[in-house]
Structure 1
Amino acid sequence: MINTILLLVVVGLAAGIFGAIFGIGGGMIVTPILTLLMGLDIKYAIGASIISVIATSSGATVAYLKDDMLNLRVAMFLEIATTVGAIVGAILTGVLPSMVLYMLFGLLLLFSAWNMFRKMRAGKETSEAIQADSLSTKLKLNGSYYDNAVDKQIDYQVSNVPGGFAMMLGAGLASGLLGIGSGAFKVIAMDTIMKMPLKPSSATSNLMMGVTAAASATVYFFNGSIRPEIASPLAIGILVGATLGSKIMKHLRARVLRMIFIPILFYIGLQMFLKGFGVTI
Protein backbone atom coordinates (compact mmCIF):
# COMPACT_ATOMS: atom_id res chain seq x y z
CA MET A 1 0.00 0.00 0.00
CA ILE A 2 2.82 2.42 0.92
CA ASN A 3 4.65 1.52 -2.31
CA THR A 4 1.50 2.31 -4.31
CA ILE A 5 1.10 5.68 -2.58
CA LEU A 6 4.77 6.55 -3.23
CA LEU A 7 4.41 5.52 -6.88
CA LEU A 8 1.34 7.74 -7.25
CA VAL A 9 3.19 10.69 -5.69
CA VAL A 10 6.13 10.18 -8.10
CA VAL A 11 3.77 9.89 -11.09
CA GLY A 12 2.03 13.07 -9.91
CA LEU A 13 5.37 14.85 -9.56
CA ALA A 14 6.32 14.00 -13.17
CA ALA A 15 2.86 14.92 -14.47
CA GLY A 16 2.93 18.24 -12.60
CA ILE A 17 6.35 19.25 -13.95
CA PHE A 18 5.44 18.21 -17.49
CA GLY A 19 2.00 19.83 -17.42
CA ALA A 20 3.18 23.14 -15.96
CA ILE A 21 5.97 23.55 -18.53
CA PHE A 22 3.88 22.80 -21.62
CA GLY A 23 0.40 23.85 -20.53
CA ILE A 24 -1.24 20.60 -21.64
CA GLY A 25 -2.13 18.99 -18.32
CA GLY A 26 -0.71 15.77 -16.90
CA GLY A 27 -3.41 13.47 -18.24
CA MET A 28 -1.22 12.00 -20.98
CA ILE A 29 1.18 10.79 -18.26
CA VAL A 30 -1.32 9.87 -15.55
CA THR A 31 -3.87 7.92 -17.61
CA PRO A 32 -1.46 5.49 -19.39
CA ILE A 33 0.46 4.73 -16.17
CA LEU A 34 -2.68 4.12 -14.13
CA THR A 35 -4.26 1.87 -16.77
CA LEU A 36 -1.30 0.05 -18.33
CA LEU A 37 1.19 -0.06 -15.46
CA MET A 38 -1.12 -0.29 -12.46
CA GLY A 39 -4.07 -2.07 -14.12
CA LEU A 40 -6.63 0.51 -12.98
CA ASP A 41 -10.05 0.69 -14.62
CA ILE A 42 -10.12 3.45 -17.29
CA LYS A 43 -13.11 5.06 -15.54
CA TYR A 44 -11.08 5.72 -12.38
CA ALA A 45 -8.01 6.69 -14.41
CA ILE A 46 -10.00 9.41 -16.19
CA GLY A 47 -11.38 10.63 -12.85
CA ALA A 48 -7.84 10.83 -11.45
CA SER A 49 -6.70 12.57 -14.65
CA ILE A 50 -9.34 15.30 -14.13
CA ILE A 51 -8.02 15.87 -10.60
CA SER A 52 -4.46 15.97 -11.98
CA VAL A 53 -5.40 18.72 -14.43
CA ILE A 54 -6.97 20.82 -11.64
CA ALA A 55 -3.94 20.28 -9.38
CA THR A 56 -1.49 21.15 -12.18
CA SER A 57 -3.46 24.28 -12.97
CA SER A 58 -3.63 25.32 -9.31
CA GLY A 59 0.08 24.82 -8.65
CA ALA A 60 1.31 26.40 -11.87
CA THR A 61 -1.17 29.29 -12.03
CA VAL A 62 -0.13 30.66 -8.62
CA ALA A 63 3.51 30.73 -9.72
CA TYR A 64 2.78 32.17 -13.17
CA LEU A 65 0.52 34.88 -11.72
CA LYS A 66 3.25 35.84 -9.29
CA ASP A 67 5.77 36.09 -12.14
CA ASP A 68 3.29 37.92 -14.39
CA MET A 69 3.77 35.23 -17.05
CA LEU A 70 0.15 34.37 -17.89
CA ASN A 71 -2.27 36.64 -19.71
CA LEU A 72 -5.41 36.74 -17.56
CA ARG A 73 -7.50 38.70 -20.08
CA VAL A 74 -6.74 36.26 -22.91
CA ALA A 75 -7.53 33.31 -20.62
CA MET A 76 -10.95 34.63 -19.59
CA PHE A 77 -11.85 35.68 -23.14
CA LEU A 78 -10.96 32.33 -24.71
CA GLU A 79 -12.59 30.41 -21.86
CA ILE A 80 -15.95 31.72 -23.09
CA ALA A 81 -15.39 29.94 -26.41
CA THR A 82 -14.19 26.73 -24.74
CA THR A 83 -17.19 26.58 -22.42
CA VAL A 84 -19.72 27.24 -25.19
CA GLY A 85 -18.01 24.65 -27.41
CA ALA A 86 -18.01 22.05 -24.63
CA ILE A 87 -21.74 22.55 -23.96
CA VAL A 88 -22.57 22.26 -27.67
CA GLY A 89 -20.33 19.20 -27.93
CA ALA A 90 -22.04 17.52 -25.00
CA ILE A 91 -25.45 18.20 -26.61
CA LEU A 92 -24.29 16.79 -29.97
CA THR A 93 -22.78 13.62 -28.49
CA GLY A 94 -23.95 10.68 -30.57
CA VAL A 95 -25.19 12.90 -33.41
CA LEU A 96 -21.84 13.42 -35.16
CA PRO A 97 -19.63 10.40 -35.99
CA SER A 98 -16.76 10.38 -33.47
CA MET A 99 -14.38 8.54 -35.84
CA VAL A 100 -14.52 11.37 -38.39
CA LEU A 101 -13.99 13.94 -35.65
CA TYR A 102 -10.96 12.07 -34.33
CA MET A 103 -9.44 12.12 -37.82
CA LEU A 104 -10.18 15.82 -38.38
CA PHE A 105 -8.81 16.97 -35.02
CA GLY A 106 -5.82 14.62 -35.42
CA LEU A 107 -4.98 16.17 -38.80
CA LEU A 108 -5.31 19.64 -37.28
CA LEU A 109 -2.79 18.78 -34.55
CA LEU A 110 -0.39 17.21 -37.07
CA PHE A 111 -0.59 20.34 -39.24
CA SER A 112 0.01 22.52 -36.17
CA ALA A 113 3.07 20.45 -35.23
CA TRP A 114 4.46 20.97 -38.74
CA ASN A 115 3.68 24.69 -38.57
CA MET A 116 5.48 24.97 -35.22
CA PHE A 117 8.46 23.12 -36.69
CA ARG A 118 8.64 25.58 -39.58
CA LYS A 119 8.41 28.49 -37.14
CA MET A 120 11.23 27.02 -35.04
CA ARG A 121 13.48 26.46 -38.10
CA ALA A 122 12.86 30.02 -39.26
CA GLY A 123 13.91 31.24 -35.80
CA LYS A 124 10.71 33.26 -35.36
CA GLU A 125 10.08 33.74 -31.66
CA THR A 126 9.50 36.82 -29.59
CA SER A 127 11.58 38.93 -31.98
CA GLU A 128 8.96 38.45 -34.71
CA ALA A 129 7.06 41.68 -35.45
CA ILE A 130 3.39 41.03 -34.76
CA GLN A 131 0.68 43.55 -35.62
CA ALA A 132 -2.08 43.67 -33.01
CA ASP A 133 -5.59 43.68 -34.44
CA SER A 134 -8.24 46.19 -33.39
CA LEU A 135 -10.11 43.65 -31.24
CA SER A 136 -7.08 42.77 -29.12
CA THR A 137 -6.41 46.47 -28.56
CA LYS A 138 -10.04 47.14 -27.56
CA LEU A 139 -10.07 44.17 -25.17
CA LYS A 140 -6.57 45.02 -23.86
CA LEU A 141 -5.24 41.53 -24.63
CA ASN A 142 -1.67 42.60 -25.42
CA GLY A 143 0.81 41.88 -22.65
CA SER A 144 4.39 41.59 -21.45
CA TYR A 145 6.51 39.26 -19.34
CA TYR A 146 10.07 38.96 -18.07
CA ASP A 147 12.00 36.15 -19.78
CA ASN A 148 14.73 34.82 -17.47
CA ALA A 149 16.28 32.79 -20.29
CA VAL A 150 17.20 35.92 -22.28
CA ASP A 151 17.23 38.24 -19.24
CA LYS A 152 14.89 40.91 -20.58
CA GLN A 153 11.32 42.22 -20.51
CA ILE A 154 9.35 41.17 -23.59
CA ASP A 155 6.30 43.07 -24.81
CA TYR A 156 4.05 41.22 -27.24
CA GLN A 157 0.99 41.92 -29.36
CA VAL A 158 -1.97 39.56 -29.78
CA SER A 159 -3.15 39.03 -33.35
CA ASN A 160 -6.07 37.26 -35.09
CA VAL A 161 -8.37 37.19 -32.06
CA PRO A 162 -11.40 35.86 -34.04
CA GLY A 163 -9.26 32.96 -35.34
CA GLY A 164 -8.11 32.06 -31.82
CA PHE A 165 -11.69 32.28 -30.54
CA ALA A 166 -12.88 29.96 -33.35
CA MET A 167 -10.08 27.51 -32.53
CA MET A 168 -11.16 27.44 -28.90
CA LEU A 169 -14.76 26.78 -29.92
CA GLY A 170 -13.43 23.76 -31.80
CA ALA A 171 -11.33 22.71 -28.81
CA GLY A 172 -14.36 22.90 -26.52
CA LEU A 173 -16.40 20.97 -29.08
CA ALA A 174 -13.75 18.24 -29.15
CA SER A 175 -13.73 18.05 -25.35
CA GLY A 176 -17.51 17.77 -25.16
CA LEU A 177 -17.91 15.32 -28.05
CA LEU A 178 -14.89 13.08 -27.55
CA GLY A 179 -14.14 13.48 -23.84
CA ILE A 180 -10.54 14.56 -24.49
CA GLY A 181 -8.40 17.22 -22.90
CA SER A 182 -7.85 20.32 -25.01
CA GLY A 183 -4.59 21.66 -23.59
CA ALA A 184 -2.73 21.20 -26.89
CA PHE A 185 -5.48 23.08 -28.75
CA LYS A 186 -5.28 25.94 -26.25
CA VAL A 187 -1.54 26.36 -26.79
CA ILE A 188 -2.00 26.19 -30.58
CA ALA A 189 -4.77 28.81 -30.48
CA MET A 190 -2.53 31.27 -28.66
CA ASP A 191 0.90 30.47 -30.08
CA THR A 192 0.16 29.60 -33.72
CA ILE A 193 -3.04 31.53 -34.46
CA MET A 194 -2.92 34.53 -32.13
CA LYS A 195 0.90 34.82 -32.41
CA MET A 196 1.55 34.99 -28.67
CA PRO A 197 5.01 33.85 -27.48
CA LEU A 198 5.14 30.19 -26.38
CA LYS A 199 5.87 30.90 -22.71
CA PRO A 200 2.80 33.04 -21.93
CA SER A 201 0.77 30.67 -24.16
CA SER A 202 1.75 27.70 -21.99
CA ALA A 203 1.23 29.63 -18.76
CA THR A 204 -2.20 30.90 -19.84
CA SER A 205 -3.22 27.40 -20.99
CA ASN A 206 -2.55 26.11 -17.47
CA LEU A 207 -5.10 28.49 -15.98
CA MET A 208 -7.71 27.72 -18.66
CA MET A 209 -7.38 23.95 -18.24
CA GLY A 210 -8.14 24.19 -14.54
CA VAL A 211 -11.32 26.20 -15.18
CA THR A 212 -12.51 23.68 -17.79
CA ALA A 213 -11.63 20.62 -15.68
CA ALA A 214 -13.28 22.02 -12.55
CA ALA A 215 -16.61 22.16 -14.38
CA SER A 216 -16.48 18.46 -15.35
CA ALA A 217 -14.98 17.26 -12.05
CA THR A 218 -18.37 17.59 -10.32
CA VAL A 219 -19.89 15.09 -12.76
CA TYR A 220 -17.06 12.61 -12.24
CA PHE A 221 -17.29 13.02 -8.46
CA PHE A 222 -20.99 12.23 -8.27
CA ASN A 223 -20.80 9.23 -10.63
CA GLY A 224 -18.10 7.68 -8.41
CA SER A 225 -15.19 7.93 -10.87
CA ILE A 226 -12.93 9.84 -8.46
CA ARG A 227 -11.36 7.61 -5.81
CA PRO A 228 -9.72 9.62 -2.98
CA GLU A 229 -7.05 6.96 -2.29
CA ILE A 230 -5.79 7.43 -5.87
CA ALA A 231 -6.49 11.11 -6.45
CA SER A 232 -5.04 12.39 -3.15
CA PRO A 233 -1.42 11.10 -3.51
CA LEU A 234 -1.48 12.15 -7.18
CA ALA A 235 -2.64 15.66 -6.29
CA ILE A 236 0.12 16.07 -3.67
CA GLY A 237 2.80 15.05 -6.17
CA ILE A 238 1.28 17.21 -8.89
CA LEU A 239 1.10 20.36 -6.75
CA VAL A 240 4.82 20.04 -5.93
CA GLY A 241 5.66 19.12 -9.55
CA ALA A 242 3.65 22.01 -11.00
CA THR A 243 5.46 24.49 -8.74
CA LEU A 244 8.83 23.06 -9.83
CA GLY A 245 7.75 22.99 -13.49
CA SER A 246 6.76 26.65 -13.44
CA LYS A 247 10.20 27.54 -12.07
CA ILE A 248 11.98 25.40 -14.67
CA MET A 249 9.97 26.85 -17.56
CA LYS A 250 11.09 30.41 -16.76
CA HIS A 251 14.71 29.47 -17.45
CA LEU A 252 14.13 27.49 -20.66
CA ARG A 253 14.51 29.16 -24.04
CA ALA A 254 11.44 29.17 -26.29
CA ARG A 255 13.35 27.16 -28.91
CA VAL A 256 14.04 24.38 -26.37
CA LEU A 257 10.37 24.35 -25.39
CA ARG A 258 9.39 23.95 -29.05
CA MET A 259 11.91 21.14 -29.59
CA ILE A 260 10.21 19.15 -26.82
CA PHE A 261 6.64 20.27 -27.50
CA ILE A 262 6.58 19.50 -31.25
CA PRO A 263 7.11 15.70 -30.85
CA ILE A 264 4.43 15.67 -28.11
CA LEU A 265 2.00 17.50 -30.40
CA PHE A 266 2.85 15.13 -33.26
CA TYR A 267 2.25 12.09 -31.04
CA ILE A 268 -1.13 13.36 -29.79
CA GLY A 269 -2.19 14.22 -33.36
CA LEU A 270 -1.11 10.83 -34.71
CA GLN A 271 -2.85 9.07 -31.82
CA MET A 272 -6.12 10.92 -32.53
CA PHE A 273 -5.89 10.35 -36.29
CA LEU A 274 -5.29 6.61 -35.95
CA LYS A 275 -8.08 6.36 -33.38
CA GLY A 276 -10.38 7.50 -36.16
CA PHE A 277 -9.53 4.21 -37.90
CA GLY A 278 -9.98 2.22 -34.68
CA VAL A 279 -6.22 1.89 -34.03
CA THR A 280 -4.95 2.68 -30.52
CA ILE A 281 -1.29 3.44 -29.80
Structure 2
Amino acid sequence: MSLFLALFATGIGAGILGALLGLGGGIFLVPALTLLFQLPIRVAVGTSLMGVIATSAAVGAVESPGRGADIGLALRLEMSTAAGAITGGLLAGWISPRSLYLIFALVVFLTGAYELSKGYKAHAQKGDSRSSEVLFAADYVPSHWVLGLSLAFLAGMVSGLLGVGGGFIKVPVMDAVMGVPLGVAAATSNFMVGITAAASFFVYYNRGDIYPFLVLPTSLGVLLGAMLGFSLIPHLRAAWLRLVLVGLMFLMGIHMILQGLGYSGR
Protein backbone atom coordinates (compact mmCIF):
# COMPACT_ATOMS: atom_id res chain seq x y z
CA MET A 1 0.00 0.00 0.00
CA SER A 2 2.86 2.39 0.79
CA LEU A 3 4.33 1.80 -2.70
CA PHE A 4 0.90 2.41 -4.25
CA LEU A 5 0.54 5.72 -2.40
CA ALA A 6 4.10 6.79 -3.22
CA LEU A 7 3.58 6.11 -6.93
CA PHE A 8 0.18 7.82 -6.81
CA ALA A 9 1.72 10.92 -5.21
CA THR A 10 4.55 10.93 -7.74
CA GLY A 11 2.02 10.74 -10.56
CA ILE A 12 0.07 13.67 -9.09
CA GLY A 13 3.22 15.77 -8.94
CA ALA A 14 4.26 14.92 -12.49
CA GLY A 15 0.73 15.55 -13.77
CA ILE A 16 0.55 18.98 -12.13
CA LEU A 17 3.97 20.04 -13.42
CA GLY A 18 3.27 18.76 -16.91
CA ALA A 19 -0.07 20.56 -17.07
CA LEU A 20 1.40 23.85 -15.86
CA LEU A 21 3.95 23.82 -18.69
CA GLY A 22 1.55 22.41 -21.25
CA LEU A 23 3.65 19.26 -21.56
CA GLY A 24 2.83 15.64 -20.94
CA GLY A 25 3.78 14.54 -17.44
CA GLY A 26 6.35 12.14 -18.89
CA ILE A 27 9.08 14.77 -19.04
CA PHE A 28 8.93 14.85 -15.22
CA LEU A 29 7.66 11.33 -14.51
CA VAL A 30 10.45 9.29 -16.11
CA PRO A 31 13.27 11.01 -14.15
CA ALA A 32 11.19 10.78 -10.94
CA LEU A 33 10.60 7.04 -11.37
CA THR A 34 14.27 6.35 -12.03
CA LEU A 35 15.48 8.60 -9.21
CA LEU A 36 12.96 7.89 -6.45
CA PHE A 37 12.11 4.26 -7.21
CA GLN A 38 15.28 3.13 -9.02
CA LEU A 39 13.19 1.69 -11.86
CA PRO A 40 14.99 0.60 -15.05
CA ILE A 41 14.52 3.33 -17.62
CA ARG A 42 12.56 1.11 -20.03
CA VAL A 43 10.07 0.27 -17.27
CA ALA A 44 9.86 3.96 -16.33
CA VAL A 45 9.21 4.92 -19.96
CA GLY A 46 6.52 2.26 -20.38
CA THR A 47 4.83 3.43 -17.19
CA SER A 48 5.08 7.04 -18.32
CA LEU A 49 3.37 6.30 -21.63
CA MET A 50 0.20 5.33 -19.81
CA GLY A 51 0.56 8.57 -17.87
CA VAL A 52 0.68 10.47 -21.17
CA ILE A 53 -2.53 8.73 -22.21
CA ALA A 54 -4.06 9.76 -18.86
CA THR A 55 -2.97 13.37 -19.42
CA SER A 56 -4.66 13.31 -22.81
CA ALA A 57 -7.82 12.10 -21.09
CA ALA A 58 -7.54 14.96 -18.59
CA VAL A 59 -7.32 17.49 -21.43
CA GLY A 60 -10.48 15.99 -22.90
CA ALA A 61 -12.20 16.23 -19.52
CA VAL A 62 -11.52 19.94 -19.01
CA GLU A 63 -12.05 21.02 -22.62
CA SER A 64 -14.63 20.20 -25.25
CA PRO A 65 -13.32 17.25 -27.29
CA GLY A 66 -11.42 18.50 -30.31
CA ARG A 67 -12.02 22.17 -29.39
CA GLY A 68 -9.87 24.23 -31.72
CA ALA A 69 -8.20 21.14 -33.19
CA ASP A 70 -7.96 20.38 -36.89
CA ILE A 71 -9.16 16.77 -36.78
CA GLY A 72 -8.39 16.08 -40.44
CA LEU A 73 -4.83 17.35 -40.01
CA ALA A 74 -4.45 15.33 -36.80
CA LEU A 75 -5.53 12.08 -38.42
CA ARG A 76 -3.18 12.53 -41.37
CA LEU A 77 -0.22 13.46 -39.20
CA GLU A 78 -1.03 10.69 -36.73
CA MET A 79 -0.37 8.00 -39.34
CA SER A 80 3.23 9.19 -39.47
CA THR A 81 3.44 9.95 -35.74
CA ALA A 82 2.12 6.53 -34.71
CA ALA A 83 4.60 4.82 -37.03
CA GLY A 84 7.35 6.86 -35.40
CA ALA A 85 6.08 5.95 -31.92
CA ILE A 86 6.19 2.22 -32.74
CA THR A 87 9.69 2.67 -34.18
CA GLY A 88 10.79 4.51 -31.04
CA GLY A 89 9.35 1.79 -28.82
CA LEU A 90 11.26 -0.86 -30.77
CA LEU A 91 14.48 1.18 -30.68
CA ALA A 92 14.18 1.46 -26.89
CA GLY A 93 14.62 -2.31 -26.70
CA TRP A 94 17.85 -2.18 -28.70
CA ILE A 95 19.52 0.94 -27.31
CA SER A 96 21.50 0.53 -24.08
CA PRO A 97 19.94 1.97 -20.90
CA ARG A 98 22.85 4.39 -20.45
CA SER A 99 22.31 5.75 -23.95
CA LEU A 100 18.59 6.16 -23.22
CA TYR A 101 19.42 8.23 -20.13
CA LEU A 102 21.70 10.51 -22.17
CA ILE A 103 19.17 10.87 -25.00
CA PHE A 104 16.48 11.72 -22.45
CA ALA A 105 18.75 14.36 -20.89
CA LEU A 106 19.32 15.93 -24.31
CA VAL A 107 15.57 16.07 -24.97
CA VAL A 108 14.95 17.58 -21.51
CA PHE A 109 17.49 20.35 -22.15
CA LEU A 110 16.11 21.07 -25.63
CA THR A 111 12.57 21.16 -24.24
CA GLY A 112 13.67 23.50 -21.46
CA ALA A 113 15.31 25.82 -23.98
CA TYR A 114 12.14 25.76 -26.09
CA GLU A 115 10.01 26.63 -23.05
CA LEU A 116 12.31 29.55 -22.20
CA SER A 117 12.06 30.82 -25.78
CA LYS A 118 8.25 30.59 -25.55
CA GLY A 119 8.35 32.71 -22.41
CA TYR A 120 10.61 35.27 -24.09
CA LYS A 121 8.36 35.50 -27.14
CA ALA A 122 5.27 35.86 -24.96
CA HIS A 123 6.94 38.74 -23.11
CA ALA A 124 8.08 40.39 -26.35
CA GLN A 125 4.58 40.13 -27.81
CA LYS A 126 2.80 41.37 -24.69
CA GLY A 127 0.27 43.93 -25.76
CA ASP A 128 0.30 42.61 -29.31
CA SER A 129 -2.98 43.30 -31.05
CA ARG A 130 -3.38 39.70 -32.21
CA SER A 131 -6.47 38.10 -30.75
CA SER A 132 -7.58 34.54 -30.20
CA GLU A 133 -9.24 34.74 -33.61
CA VAL A 134 -5.75 34.93 -35.14
CA LEU A 135 -4.46 32.05 -33.02
CA PHE A 136 -7.42 29.92 -34.11
CA ALA A 137 -7.86 31.41 -37.61
CA ALA A 138 -9.75 29.15 -39.99
CA ASP A 139 -8.42 30.57 -43.27
CA TYR A 140 -5.21 28.54 -43.53
CA VAL A 141 -4.07 25.67 -45.72
CA PRO A 142 -1.38 23.36 -44.25
CA SER A 143 1.70 23.24 -46.47
CA HIS A 144 5.09 21.48 -46.71
CA TRP A 145 3.48 18.11 -46.09
CA VAL A 146 6.56 15.99 -46.80
CA LEU A 147 8.68 17.84 -44.24
CA GLY A 148 5.76 18.02 -41.81
CA LEU A 149 5.11 14.28 -41.98
CA SER A 150 8.83 13.53 -41.62
CA LEU A 151 9.09 15.68 -38.49
CA ALA A 152 5.85 14.18 -37.16
CA PHE A 153 7.51 10.77 -37.49
CA LEU A 154 10.45 12.14 -35.46
CA ALA A 155 8.06 13.46 -32.79
CA GLY A 156 6.43 10.05 -32.54
CA MET A 157 9.80 8.32 -32.33
CA VAL A 158 10.88 10.59 -29.46
CA SER A 159 7.58 9.87 -27.70
CA GLY A 160 7.93 6.11 -28.08
CA LEU A 161 11.61 6.10 -27.17
CA LEU A 162 11.37 8.27 -24.06
CA GLY A 163 7.75 8.14 -22.85
CA VAL A 164 7.00 11.82 -23.44
CA GLY A 165 4.14 13.45 -25.31
CA GLY A 166 6.16 14.94 -28.15
CA GLY A 167 4.05 18.09 -28.30
CA PHE A 168 7.15 20.28 -27.99
CA ILE A 169 8.06 19.00 -31.48
CA LYS A 170 4.59 18.72 -33.01
CA VAL A 171 3.42 22.24 -32.16
CA PRO A 172 6.42 24.09 -33.72
CA VAL A 173 6.29 21.79 -36.76
CA MET A 174 2.62 22.55 -37.41
CA ASP A 175 3.04 26.26 -36.66
CA ALA A 176 6.41 27.16 -38.21
CA VAL A 177 6.71 24.52 -40.95
CA MET A 178 3.14 23.79 -42.06
CA GLY A 179 1.62 27.23 -41.51
CA VAL A 180 -1.02 26.16 -38.99
CA PRO A 181 -2.12 28.89 -36.50
CA LEU A 182 -0.49 28.38 -33.10
CA GLY A 183 -3.73 27.83 -31.18
CA VAL A 184 -4.91 25.24 -33.68
CA ALA A 185 -1.50 23.54 -33.61
CA ALA A 186 -1.56 23.25 -29.81
CA ALA A 187 -5.12 21.91 -29.75
CA THR A 188 -4.35 19.45 -32.54
CA SER A 189 -1.25 18.22 -30.71
CA ASN A 190 -3.28 17.66 -27.53
CA PHE A 191 -5.79 15.65 -29.54
CA MET A 192 -3.00 13.48 -30.99
CA VAL A 193 -0.86 12.80 -27.93
CA GLY A 194 -2.88 9.98 -26.40
CA ILE A 195 -3.09 8.10 -29.71
CA THR A 196 0.67 8.44 -30.18
CA ALA A 197 1.43 7.12 -26.69
CA ALA A 198 -0.98 4.20 -27.10
CA ALA A 199 0.82 3.07 -30.27
CA SER A 200 4.14 2.61 -28.47
CA PHE A 201 2.60 1.45 -25.17
CA PHE A 202 1.72 -1.90 -26.74
CA VAL A 203 5.33 -2.34 -27.89
CA TYR A 204 6.49 -1.99 -24.28
CA TYR A 205 3.69 -4.30 -23.12
CA ASN A 206 4.66 -7.03 -25.57
CA ARG A 207 8.31 -6.72 -24.50
CA GLY A 208 7.41 -7.17 -20.82
CA ASP A 209 8.25 -3.63 -19.68
CA ILE A 210 4.74 -2.89 -18.36
CA TYR A 211 3.86 -3.77 -14.76
CA PRO A 212 0.23 -3.13 -13.77
CA PHE A 213 1.10 -2.51 -10.10
CA LEU A 214 3.29 0.39 -11.28
CA VAL A 215 1.07 1.67 -14.09
CA LEU A 216 -2.23 1.82 -12.19
CA PRO A 217 -1.33 4.16 -9.29
CA THR A 218 0.98 6.28 -11.42
CA SER A 219 -1.57 6.81 -14.18
CA LEU A 220 -4.34 7.62 -11.72
CA GLY A 221 -2.03 10.13 -10.07
CA VAL A 222 -1.07 11.74 -13.38
CA LEU A 223 -4.73 12.00 -14.39
CA LEU A 224 -5.67 13.72 -11.12
CA GLY A 225 -2.54 15.87 -11.15
CA ALA A 226 -3.12 17.04 -14.72
CA MET A 227 -6.69 18.09 -13.90
CA LEU A 228 -5.46 19.93 -10.79
CA GLY A 229 -2.72 21.59 -12.81
CA PHE A 230 -5.17 22.83 -15.43
CA SER A 231 -7.36 24.32 -12.68
CA LEU A 232 -4.35 26.13 -11.16
CA ILE A 233 -3.15 27.77 -14.37
CA PRO A 234 -5.47 30.84 -14.22
CA HIS A 235 -4.34 31.60 -10.65
CA LEU A 236 -0.56 31.52 -11.19
CA ARG A 237 1.84 34.01 -12.73
CA ALA A 238 3.18 32.44 -15.91
CA ALA A 239 6.56 34.20 -16.06
CA TRP A 240 8.08 33.05 -12.77
CA LEU A 241 6.29 29.71 -12.93
CA ARG A 242 7.93 28.92 -16.27
CA LEU A 243 11.37 29.78 -14.90
CA VAL A 244 10.90 27.58 -11.83
CA LEU A 245 9.64 24.60 -13.81
CA VAL A 246 12.34 24.91 -16.47
CA GLY A 247 14.93 25.07 -13.68
CA LEU A 248 13.48 21.84 -12.29
CA MET A 249 13.68 20.30 -15.77
CA PHE A 250 17.36 21.17 -16.03
CA LEU A 251 18.02 19.54 -12.64
CA MET A 252 16.27 16.40 -13.85
CA GLY A 253 18.35 16.54 -17.03
CA ILE A 254 21.52 16.61 -14.93
CA HIS A 255 20.25 13.58 -12.99
CA MET A 256 19.68 11.71 -16.26
CA ILE A 257 23.19 12.57 -17.45
CA LEU A 258 24.66 11.22 -14.21
CA GLN A 259 22.62 8.04 -14.63
CA GLY A 260 23.84 7.71 -18.19
CA LEU A 261 27.44 8.09 -17.05
CA GLY A 262 26.97 5.44 -14.39
CA TYR A 263 26.52 7.64 -11.30
CA SER A 264 23.26 6.23 -10.01
CA GLY A 265 23.50 7.72 -6.54
CA ARG A 266 23.05 4.34 -4.89
The normalised TM-score by structure 2 is: 0.68
Equivalent position amino acid for 2:125 in 1 = G
Counting matched residue pairs gives: 251
State the alpha-carbon separation in 2 of the partners of residues 180 and 62 from structure 1: 22
CA contact under 8 A between 1:78 and 1:168: conserved in structure 2? Answer: yes
- C-alpha offsets along residues 78-118 of structure 1, whole Å, 9 cap, x if unaligned? 32332344466678998xxx89x959978975774564354
CA contact under 8 A between 1:82 and 1:171: conserved in structure 2? Answer: yes
Equivalent position amino acid for 2:121 in 1 = K
- C-alpha offsets along residues 16-37 of structure 1, whole Å, 9 cap, x if unaligned? 2233343422122222222211
CA 1:223 to 1:38, structure 2 compared with 1: closer, same or farther past 3 Å?
A: same
Report the counterpart of residue 57 of structure 2 in structure 1.
Answer: 58
State the alpha-carbon separation in 1 of the partners of residues 239 and 73 from structure 2: 23
CA 1:270 to 1:117, structure 2 compared with 1: closer, same or farther past 3 Å?
A: farther
Equivalent position amino acid for 2:64 in 1 = L
RMSD: 4.4
- C-alpha offsets along residues 182-219 of structure 1, whole Å, 9 cap, x if unaligned? 23212333455546446x65554333221111111112
1:245 equivalent to 2:241? Answer no
Q: Which moved more, 1:234-243 or 1:14-23?
A: 14-23
User: What is the CA-CA distance between 1:61 and the residue it aligns to?
Assistant: 2.1
State the alpha-carbon separation in 2 of the partners of residues 212 and 159 from structure 1: 24
Equivalent position amino acid for 1:213 in 2 = A
Report the counterpart of residue 190 of structure 2 in structure 1.
Answer: 206
Equivalent position amino acid for 2:37 in 1 = M
State the alpha-carbon separation in 1 of the partners of residues 252 and 107 from structure 2: 10
Equivalences for residues 212-251 of structure 1 within 5 A? 212-249=196-233
Report the counterpart of residue 12 of structure 2 in structure 1.
Answer: 13
CA contact under 8 A between 1:220 and 1:226: conserved in structure 2? Answer: yes
CA 1:169 to 1:205, structure 2 compared with 1: closer, same or farther past 3 Å?
A: same
List alignment gaps of at least 5 residues for structure 1.
130-143, 145-152
Q: Which has the higher helix share?
A: 2
Equivalent position amino acid for 1:208 in 2 = M
User: What is the CA-CA distance between 1:266 and the residue it aligns to?
Assistant: 7.2
**Could you say what secondary structure the match of 1:24 adopts?**
coil
Report the counterpart of residue 48 of structure 2 in structure 1.
Answer: 49
Equivalences for residues 22-37 of structure 1 within 5 A? 22-37=21-36
**Could you say what secondary structure the match of 1:47 adopts?**
helix
List alignment gaps of at least 5 residues for structure 2.
none
- C-alpha offsets along residues 219-270 of structure 1, whole Å, 9 cap, x if unaligned? 2222221111111111221222222223334666776776567667878999
CA contact under 8 A between 1:125 and 1:197: conserved in structure 2? Answer: no
State the alpha-carbon separation in 2 of the partners of residues 67 and 31 from structure 1: 28
**Could you say what secondary structure the match of 2:30 adopts?**
helix
State the alpha-carbon separation in 1 of the partners of residues 203 and 91 from structure 2: 18
